[in-house]
Structure 1
Amino acid sequence: MTSTQQQWSSSPTSRRPVDELQWVIQIRESIEQETGEPMNVSVSVFSVPNSLVLSKPEAYIPQLFAVGPYHHWDPHLYEMERYKLATARRTQRKLHGINLQQLVDYFTINEFMIRAYYHRYLEFRGETLAWMMAIDASFLLEFLRCFSSTIEDKSFTKVPSMSHMVDSKKIKLAYNLILKDVVMLENQVPLFLLRKIIHFQFSSEEEADAELSNMLIGFVKEISPFKVSEESSPKDVLGHAHLLELLYYVIVPRINEHQDSTKEIIDNDQSGKADMCDSDKKSNGCVNNFFGVVWSSVAKKKGLTYNFVKKVLIGKPIKFLIKGPWSIISKLPVVSVFKGSIESMFCGKSVEKEKDDDDSTSHNKPPLVEEILVPSVKELVRAGVKFARTNQDITSIRFDAKTGIFYLPEVTLDCNTEVLLRNLVTYESSVVSEHLVFTRYTELINGIIDTEEDVKILRECKVIRNRMKSDAEVADLWNEMRRSVRLTKVAFIDKALEDVNKYYGRSSNVKMNKFMETYVLGSWKMLTLLAAMFLLFLSCVEAFCSVYTCRSHLLSYAGVNGN
C-alpha cells in the first residue's frame, strides 16, 4: 500500500484539516453573518488539475511570490514575505485618513465575499485572511504601477517600493518571474480589493478608478501575446474578477452564444437536406466531377459557345456512355484494385471521407480526435496554401478557399508566453461551459506546427513574432502544450479547419502522394508477385525460344511483313 493510500485509509480524526471547535465557530459565523443584499459573486479562482501540474509544475505553481491564499505557506515562497511587507508599509503611508489596520478591518467585514471567489476551502481565520489579502493586494497594486502610462520607464527602479527588491543586474529576471507568477490561475486576488486600496489613496473615486484602469490596460498590453489596439482595449477593466480573467476576455471576446447556436441549427438543417439528396448525388458525383475537370480545360479555349458545350458535356447520353462502361470495367479484378484511387482523382473524396463528413455534421457531440488533425505548415505550403496575419483577435481566423490564404492573428512569443497560455487554457476549461475558443486556437496552432521549419515559415509570414532564443524553442512550446481536459467545437475555427483540409486534399501533389502510398508503397507484396510472374514469363519465353529457334521465325515474319 502506498503512502497516499495509507493516508486516506487512516482514521477520520487524522484527516481533519482543522479542529472541531474552529470548524463550528466558522460555520456559526457564516450562517449568522449579516450580509445585507445577496452576494453576486461567482467562483473564479480554481485549482489546477494535478495532471497538468505534474506535466510542468513551474507553469502553474508560483516560483517567486505567492499572491493569494493558495500558496501563501509554501516554504520556497515565504522567504519573500519581507519584500511584500516593505510594500505594505509604503502603501500605509499613501493611505488618506486611515491606516493599514482600518483597511484590514474593511477586508474582514468582506471576508465571505473574498472567500466566494475561491473554489478551494480556505483554512484561515477571518482576520488572518484579511491581513493576507491586504499585504498581497498592496504588493500587486504597487507592481501594476510599473505599467501606468504616467511612468515613462517601466522598471522597478522607477517604482520606489520595487527598487529594493533586486539589484540592477537582476531586475529583468525578477520582472519576468513576477509576470509569470501574477498570471497563474492559483495565484490570483480579487480586483475589488485593489480598487478599495487605491480609493483610499486618491481624493476622488473617479480619479482612483481611472488610474487603476490605466495600470490594468498597460499590464494587458505588456503581457498579452496578441496585439491590443485602442479599439480592442477593455472598456470595463474593473468589472473583472482578477488579472487572469481580464486577460482572457481581452484575448477572447465574448461570443454571442445565441447566434452561434442558431448557426448550428441552420447548419444541421442544411446537412439534413444534403442527406436527402445524397443518394442521388453518389451515383452521378464522379461523372459530374469528371465533366467538371473536362470543362475547366475546354472552357479556356476561345471561340466556343458556353451553353452549347455545357449541354453536350453534361447531357444524359454522354453520361450514360461514360457511366455504363465504367461500371462494367470497374468490376474487373485488376481494375477494381485501382477503382478507389481513380474515382478519388475525379470525385475529390472517397467513400470513407464522405462518412467522415456526415459524422462531422453532428454539432451536439464533442469533436473526435481525428477532426483536430490538420497538416503542418510545411505540408500546407507545398499544397499551395499561403499564410497571412491579421491585426485582429482570435475571431479573425478563417481560410479563403478561393485564394488559398489562411488568415491567423499575429502572436508574439517570449519567455513569459507559455505560462500565460497554459493558465488561460486551464481557466477557460474551468469557467466556460461551452465554446472553448482559446483552447481550440491552441489546438489549431499545435496541429500546424511540428518542427522549427513550420515556425520559420509563420515567422516569415509575420504570423509569429519570435522573441525567444530560436524557432526550435517556439516549436517545443506548442508541441509540449497538452490538450485541454475536454474537447469542444468552435464554429469559425472548425470551419477554417474543414476548409483548409478540403483544399489540401484537392491538391494534385497530395493526391499523387496518397496514390503512391496506397497503391504502390502499400501494395508492395502485389507488385513483387507481379514482378516475379513477369520474370517467370520471360524465363519461359527464353526456354521456349532456345528449343524452337524463335529468332529464325521472327526474322522470317519480319521479312514477310516487309514484302
Structure 2
Amino acid sequence: MAHYIEITQMDHQVPLLDQTSVNEATEYEMNEGRKMDHIIEMKETNGQDPSGSQTNKSINQIFDEKFKKLDNSSVKSTTIFKVSVKLRESNPDAYKPKLISIGPYHRHNPDLRSIEKYKLMYLQRFLRRKEGIDVESCIRELEELKDEARKCYDDIEDLDSDSSTGQFLQMLLLDGCFVVEFIRECYGEIPTEEDPIINAACIYYQVRRDLMLLENQLPFFVLTKLHDMTKDVDETEDVDETSFPIMVKRTFLPFLPKFTPTSFLKTECNAENIKHLLQLVHMSCYPSEMKTSIIRNSRMREVERDRAYCRKSLCWNLLPKFRSKETPIDRDHHMPWHDIMPNVTELCEAGVSFTKVGTIYRHLDKDNLEDNTSLFDIKFENGLMKIPCFEVSDDTEATLRNLIAYEQQSSHVSPKYFSDYAIFMDRLVDSERDVSLLRQKGIIRNIIGEDKEVAMLFNKIGKGISISHDFYYKEDCKKIVQHCEKPWNRMKANLRSNYFHSPWAGVSTVAAIILLLLTATQTVLSVLSVIK
C-alpha cells in the first residue's frame, strides 16, 4: 500500500493596502509562503483504478488503528529486550553476537552465516533422538507457542505478517534445537557412538559467550518444549540432576567471574518462572543468605524513611542518579555516599586494609559445596574491606554488561545486584595502580593482560547505569567515607607507610624512639641535678 501526503495551503487574508503597497504585499506573501500554516491531510491508496481514484482515510482512523494494535500487544510480556542506547554507548560490541545469532534481532547479520551449518547438524541430531518426530511435527508443536513467543520481543515488525509465520517458526525450531543440543553436549548427553559436533575450543567459547547476550535469547518455554519432546525416558528417574534448568546452570555458571556452588542447589528451578537463559543465570547469582535476609527485613524500613524524607524535602530529585565522578563533593546537598567514595589507592592512604574471601571455582565438586561466598559479598568493618576474589577474562565484560542490561530494563528485578556491584567497583577502581593493589592481595585474577585493561573495564561498565534508592552497598559506602574522614586514621596510615613499611624500618623507628626517650630522660636528670 502506498502513502502520500497532500499539503493544502490555507487561505490567508491580506489587509487592505493602498495601491502602492499591493505589489510589495504580493511579493512578500510569495516569499514567505513556506512559513505559513498548513493542513496536512494523510491519504492511503489501496491501488488506483485507471481514473486515478483513491481511498481516503482520516487522521483519526489512522490513529485508531494504531491504538488498536497497541491494545492487542502487551508491553508487559516483553522479556527479551533490545539494549538501550545509554547502556550501549560505551561498548556496543559487548551486546552483539560474534559467531551465532539466536532469535530475530540479529538474524540478518551476514557475518553470522558461517555457523548456520551447525544449526542444521544439531537439528539432525535432535530428530534422531526419538522415533516418530520430524520437522513437520516439531513445527506443529511450536505453532501453539508462536503468539506467546512473539510477545516476548521488543520489535520484530518484519515477522509480524501472516506470510512470515513460517519463517518465525523455522527460526524457533533451528535456533531452539541448536541451544538445546549444545547444552546437552556441554552436559555430556551425546548419543551413543556420536562425537561432539563442536570440537574446536575457540568456537565453543564464542558460542557460550553469544548465548549469554540479552538480545540473543529465545523464550525459555520454547527451549523447554523442545527438550521435553526428545527427553529420554531414563531422565525422569532423577529430575533434579537432569532437568533442563540444572543443565543450563552447569553449562554457564562456572564461567562467570565467580559463582557460588550452593547456587546450584538453592535456586528454584521451576521452568514456568524462567524467561530465558540469561535470566536463569541471573537468578542463580545472589549474596549470601545472611546478608540477603538483612536486606529483605530492612527494605520496608528504608522505603518508609525515603517517603518521610520526600515529604520533608521540596527539592527532592526524582530523576535517576547517573554515574558522575566529576561531580564535586557537596554533603550539604545530600550527595550519595557512593559518589564520594575514595578509590583503592586513597583508601590505602587512609589506613584501609584489603583482604580476599572465598575461592574461584571452575567446576562443581563435593569439596566446594560448603563455600557460600558470592561475588556480591563485599563487607567493610573497622578499617578492613573484605572482597570476594574473582577472575577477569576476555568474556567478563560482555557477560556482566548483559546481566546489567537485563536488570536495568526489567522492572521486577530488585535489588539490582550486578548493577550495584558495577557501580561500587567503578568507584573503587580508578587506575591500573588500584587494580595492581587488588591483584597483589589476591582479590583480582587478571588473565586478559595488563592491569590497565581491567581498570578500563570497570571505568566503562558503570556508565549509563541508573542507581536505585535501595543501592545494595549504601551502608558500606557510608562507613568507608566516615572512616576516611577521621584524621586519626590517616595519621596512623602515614606512620605505618613512612616508618613501619618493612621490619627493618620498624626496628629502626623503635630504636630511634627509645634513643630519643633516653636522651630526654638524661637531659631532665641533668637539669634536676643542677637545680639541687
Q: CA RMSD in A?
A: 3.9
Deviation at 1:220, TM superposition (A): 2.9
Equivalent runs, 1:337-352 vs 2, <5 Å? none
Change (3 A) 1:481 1:63: same
The answer for the alignment partner of 2:135 in structure 1 is 100
Deviation at 1:472, TM superposition (A): 2.3
Structure 1 position 248 matched with structure 2 position 282? yes
Of residues 377, 390, 404, the one that matches 1:396 is: 377
Change (3 A) 1:49 1:143: same
Cα distance in 1 for partners of 2:44, 2:277 equals 38
The answer for the alignment partner of 1:425 in structure 2 is 404
Q: 1:133-173, CA deviations, whole angstroms, 9 ceiling, x for partnerless residues?
A: 1100111122213431668xxxxx9853224xxxxxxx232
Deviation at 1:445, TM superposition (A): 0.4
The answer for the alignment partner of 1:140 in structure 2 is 179
Which letter does structure 1 place at the counterpart of 2:257?
A: P
The question of whether the paired residues in 2 share the 8 Å contact of 1:90 and 1:161 is answered with no
Percent of aligned pairs sharing the same letter: 24
Which letter does structure 1 place at the counterpart of 2:447?
A: R
Change (3 A) 1:108 1:354: closer
Report the 3-state secondary structure (helix = DSSP H, G, I; strand = E; otherwise coil) of the residue aligned with 1:55: coil
Q: 1:7-57, CA deviations, whole angstroms, 9 ceiling, x for partnerless residues?
A: xx9x9989xxxxxxxxxxxx9xx99x9xxxxx9983210011234334323
Cα distance in 2 for partners of 1:54, 1:261 equals 32
Of residues 74, 77, 86, the one that matches 2:109 is: 74
The answer for the alignment partner of 1:385 in structure 2 is 352
Q: 1:518-551, CA deviations, whole angstroms, 9 ceiling, x for partnerless residues?
A: xxxxxxxxxxxxxxxxxxxxxxxxxxxxxxxxxx
Cα distance in 1 for partners of 2:203, 2:452 equals 25
Deviation at 1:512, TM superposition (A): 11
TM-score normalized by the length of structure 1: 0.60
Deviation at 1:410, TM superposition (A): 2.5
Change (3 A) 1:354 1:132: closer
TM-score normalized by the length of structure 2: 0.64
Change (3 A) 1:187 1:492: closer
Q: Which moved more, 1:444-453 or 1:140-149?
A: 140-149
Structure 1 position 50 matched with structure 2 position 85? yes
Deviation at 1:459, TM superposition (A): 2.0
Structure 1 position 227 matched with structure 2 position 206? no
Cα distance in 2 for partners of 1:211, 1:269 equals 44
Q: Which moved more, 1:250-259 or 1:74-83?
A: 250-259
Report the 3-state secondary structure (helix = DSSP H, G, I; strand = E; otherwise coil) of the residue aligned with 1:161: coil
The answer for the alignment partner of 1:410 in structure 2 is 389
Deviation at 1:230, TM superposition (A): 2.8
Structure 1 position 355 matched with structure 2 position 312? no
Q: 1:288-338, CA deviations, whole angstroms, 9 ceiling, x for partnerless residues?
A: xxxxxxxxxxxxxxxxxxxxxxxxxxxxxxxxxxxxxxxxxxxxxxxxxxx
The answer for the alignment partner of 2:484 in structure 1 is 504
The question of whether the paired residues in 1 share the 8 Å contact of 2:198 and 2:204 is answered with no
Deviation at 1:105, TM superposition (A): 1.2
Cα distance in 2 for partners of 1:88, 1:98 equals 12
Report the 3-state secondary structure (helix = DSSP H, G, I; strand = E; otherwise coil) of the residue aligned with 1:228: coil
Change (3 A) 1:207 1:183: farther
Change (3 A) 1:107 1:265: closer
The answer for the alignment partner of 1:130 in structure 2 is 169
The answer for the alignment partner of 1:340 in structure 2 is none
Which letter does structure 2 place at the counterpart of 1:500?
A: I
Deviation at 1:194, TM superposition (A): 2.0
Cα distance in 1 for partners of 2:262, 2:297 equals 26
Which letter does structure 1 place at the counterpart of 2:269?
A: D
Deviation at 1:393, TM superposition (A): 2.2
Change (3 A) 1:270 1:411: farther
Report the 3-state secondary structure (helix = DSSP H, G, I; strand = E; otherwise coil) of the residue aligned with 1:389: strand
The question of whether the paired residues in 1 share the 8 Å contact of 2:249 and 2:281 is answered with no
Q: 1:258-303, CA deviations, whole angstroms, 9 ceiling, x for partnerless residues?
A: 634323157569999xx9xxxxxxxxxxxxxxxxxxxxxxxxxxxx
Report the 3-state secondary structure (helix = DSSP H, G, I; strand = E; otherwise coil) of the residue aligned with 2:356: strand
Per residue, is there more helix in 1 or in 2?
1
Change (3 A) 1:13 1:54: farther
Deviation at 1:511, TM superposition (A): 7.9
Deviation at 1:251, TM superposition (A): 1.9
The question of whether the paired residues in 1 share the 8 Å contact of 2:435 and 2:455 is answered with yes
The answer for the alignment partner of 1:236 in structure 2 is 269
Structure 1 position 193 matched with structure 2 position 160? no
Cα distance in 1 for partners of 2:446, 2:299 equals 37
The question of whether the paired residues in 2 share the 8 Å contact of 1:137 and 1:194 is answered with yes
Deviation at 1:213, TM superposition (A): 3.4
The question of whether the paired residues in 2 share the 8 Å contact of 1:105 and 1:130 is answered with no
Cα distance in 2 for partners of 1:501, 1:208 equals 51
Cα distance in 2 for partners of 1:149, 1:506 equals 57
Report the 3-state secondary structure (helix = DSSP H, G, I; strand = E; otherwise coil) of the residue aligned with 2:380: strand
Cα distance in 2 for partners of 1:438, 1:490 equals 13
The question of whether the paired residues in 2 share the 8 Å contact of 1:390 and 1:410 is answered with yes
Which letter does structure 1 place at the counterpart of 2:476?
A: A
Cα distance in 1 for partners of 2:43, 2:475 equals 53
Q: Which moved more, 1:419-428 or 1:503-512?
A: 503-512
Deviation at 1:504, TM superposition (A): 1.3
Change (3 A) 1:499 1:509: closer
Q: 1:316-364, CA deviations, whole angstroms, 9 ceiling, x for partnerless residues?
A: xxxxxxxxxxxxxxxxxxxxxxxxxxxxxxxxxxxx97635xx36xxxx
Report the 3-state secondary structure (helix = DSSP H, G, I; strand = E; otherwise coil) of the residue aligned with 1:407: strand
> Which stretches in structure 1 are left out of the alignment for 5+ residues?
1-8, 15-26, 34-38, 152-156, 164-170, 276-351, 361-366, 514-563
Structure 1 position 160 matched with structure 2 position 196? yes
The answer for the alignment partner of 2:210 in structure 1 is 181
Report the 3-state secondary structure (helix = DSSP H, G, I; strand = E; otherwise coil) of the residue aligned with 1:83: helix
Cα distance in 1 for partners of 2:98, 2:401 equals 16
Cα distance in 2 for partners of 1:195, 1:266 equals 41
The question of whether the paired residues in 2 share the 8 Å contact of 1:66 and 1:77 is answered with yes
The question of whether the paired residues in 1 share the 8 Å contact of 2:94 and 2:398 is answered with yes
Report the 3-state secondary structure (helix = DSSP H, G, I; strand = E; otherwise coil) of the residue aligned with 1:183: coil
Report the 3-state secondary structure (helix = DSSP H, G, I; strand = E; otherwise coil) of the residue aligned with 2:386: strand
> Which stretches in structure 2 are left out of the alignment for 5+ residues?
1-39, 46-65, 314-328, 359-372, 494-532
Q: Select the structure of larger CA radius of gyration.
A: 1
